[in-house]
């Protein structure tokens, strides 16, 4: 009887790793019974993350979407206001604007980094525009100097959605500390994780205090059970913060490994460099490589979805590039056209990029991708 064919290996697109103090810190939460939104790990995680991002304040939240909402509340965004948002992003970025009763105004991408195109900003500004919500997509920083210059000319706030860019640098400075506020996600697929969780980073003390009030149901800090504003229960638990602090202790190793994985991909996919756009790293940036995202060129006749299906058959999980926001039913606008974002969305896919990957894994993934491109 012939031997059964070996099952293909299973390679997840992302996977967390807990080999530091996670179990120790979580066990302390259980032993002391400090498991909810009070406990020593919350301020320790906030302080450590603020220091990491080189800002004065970090406010922990229960997830990255809540962090976005809190950052916008901190800017006093009002119903009827407009915020410029890249159409190529995860839906939470646009959703958070609508939570405030404001309107996201979409902008196209520039093709190299997939981030919003600063050259298009001026045309998006109206008398109702209050701010710009920048996304450091897939880990590459947006061109912040160009964005901030436009914002200053028009007195607009700038919030960085750095959910996918832990540790990325713009001209030597950490993302999350470049605008008026930054936001991060610690979902299970991020470079560091608390399972679910988020963070707002700010420099201004008054804005930080305002965000903390909104995070805790709107309660005035020095007057218990007095609520001067309508707030939200966006607090992080002590258990989440315990995980986060342990992960933060490993962040330099994790970010270095993501960059190593990217270097392996660049090597093994070099035969496709003329037919497929590999991630770039601009001279002024350090890419976090949350995911390694490639875009199929016209020379590759096979569709993106067919290639993803072929990789799945080989046990390789992938992700399509996000749908642009302007094609989503809640944000659909008849006749809207953002050609760069539409092309990137239709032809882009993200390959596994995480701390558990080995060079052998990357060579296996690249080999199957080369085969499926039929070049």
* Whether the Cβ atoms of residue 201 and residue 55 lie closer than 8 Å to each other: yes
- Whole-model pTM: value is 0.96
pLDDT above 80 (res 3):
no
Q: What is the pLDDT of residues 93-143, one digit of tens each?
A: 999 999 999 999 999 999 999 999 999 999 999 999 999 999 999 999 999
What is the model's pLDDT at position 297? 97
Which tokens go with 143? 């061109």
3-state secondary structure of 152: helix
* Whether the Cβ atoms of residue 155 and residue 129 lie closer than 8 Å to each other: no
Q: Determine the Cα–Cα distance for residues 20 and 247; give it in Å rounded to an integer.
A: 7
pLDDT above 60 (res 2):
no
Confidence of residue 374 (pLDDT cuts 50, 70, 90): confident
What is the model's pLDDT at position 334? 86
What is the model's pLDDT at position 7? 62
What is the total residue count of the chain?
Answer: 375
Q: What is the pLDDT of residues 162-180, one digit of tens each?
A: 999 999 999 999 999 999 9
What is the model's pLDDT at position 117? 98
> Widest CA span of the chain, in angstroms?
78
Q: Which domains does the chain have, with CATH numbers?
A: 22-108+116-248 (3.40.640.10), 252-373 (3.90.1150.10)
Q: What is the pLDDT of residues 214-258, one digit of tens each?
A: 999 999 999 999 999 999 999 999 999 999 999 999 999 999 999
What is the model's pLDDT at position 251? 98
Quick count: other Cβ atoms within 10 Å of Cβ 220? 13
Q: Where are the alpha helices (DSSP H) in 35-192?
A: 41-53, 64-74, 91-99, 121-124, 144-154
Residues 67-75: what's their mean pLDDT?
98
Q: What is the pLDDT of residues 294-332, one digit of tens each?
A: 999 999 999 999 999 999 999 999 999 999 999 999 999
* Whether the Cβ atoms of residue 72 and residue 102 lie closer than 8 Å to each other: yes
* Whether the Cβ atoms of residue 118 and residue 143 lie closer than 8 Å to each other: yes
**Which residues sit opposite 198 in a β-bridge?**
61, 185
What is the model's pLDDT at position 74? 97
Q: What is the pLDDT of residues 7-48, one digit of tens each?
A: 678 999 999 999 999 999 999 999 999 999 999 999 999 999
Residues 52-59: what's their mean pLDDT?
98
Mean pLDDT over each residue of the chain, to the nearest integer: 96
């Amino acid at each position: 009887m012939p031997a059964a064919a070996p099952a293909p290996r299973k390679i997840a697109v992302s996977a967390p790793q807990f080999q530091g103090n996670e179990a120790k810190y979580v066990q302390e939460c259980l032993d002391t019974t400090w498991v909810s939104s009070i406990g020593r790990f919350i301020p320790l995680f906030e302080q450590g993350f603020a220091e990491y991002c080189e800002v004065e304040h970090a406010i922990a939240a229960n997830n990255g979407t809540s962090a976005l909402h809190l950052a916008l509340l901190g800017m006093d965004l009002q119903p009827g206001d407009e915020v410029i948002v890249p159409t190529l992003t995860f839906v939470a970025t646009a959703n958070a604007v609508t939570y405030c009763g404001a309107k996201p105004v979409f902008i196209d991408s520039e093709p190299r980094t997939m981030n919003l195109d600063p050259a298009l900003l001026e045309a998006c500004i109206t008398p109702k525009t209050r701010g710009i919500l920048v996304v450091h997509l897939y880990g590459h920083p947006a061109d912040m100097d160009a964005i901030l210059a436009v914002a200053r000319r028009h007195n607009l706030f700038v919030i960085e959605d750095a959910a996918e860019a832990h540790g990325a640098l713009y001209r030597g400075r950490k993302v999350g500390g470049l605008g008026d506020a930054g936001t991060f996600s610690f979902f299970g697929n991020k470079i560091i994780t608390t399972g679910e969780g988020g963070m707002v980073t700010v420099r201004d003390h008054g804005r930080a205090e305002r965000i903390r009030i909104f995070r805790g149901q709107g309660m005035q800090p020095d007057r218990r059970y007095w609520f001067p504003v309508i707030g939200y229960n966006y607090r992080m638990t002590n258990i989440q913060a315990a995980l986060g602090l342990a992960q933060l202790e490993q962040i330099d190793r994790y970010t270095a490994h993501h960059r190593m994985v990217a270097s392996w991909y660049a090597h093994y996919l070099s035969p496709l460099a003329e037919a497929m756009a590999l991630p770039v790293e601009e001279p002024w940036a350090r890419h976090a490589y949350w995911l390694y995202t490639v875009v199929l060129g016209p020379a590759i006749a096979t569709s993106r979805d067919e290639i993803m299906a072929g990789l799945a058959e080989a046990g390789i999980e992938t992700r399509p590039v996000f749908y642009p926001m302007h094609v989503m039913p809640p944000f659909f606008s008849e006749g809207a056209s953002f050609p760069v974002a539409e092309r990137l969305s239709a032809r882009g896919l993200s390959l596994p990029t995480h701390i558990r990957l080995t060079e052998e894994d990357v060579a296996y993934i690249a080999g199957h991708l080369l085969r499926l491109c039929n070049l």
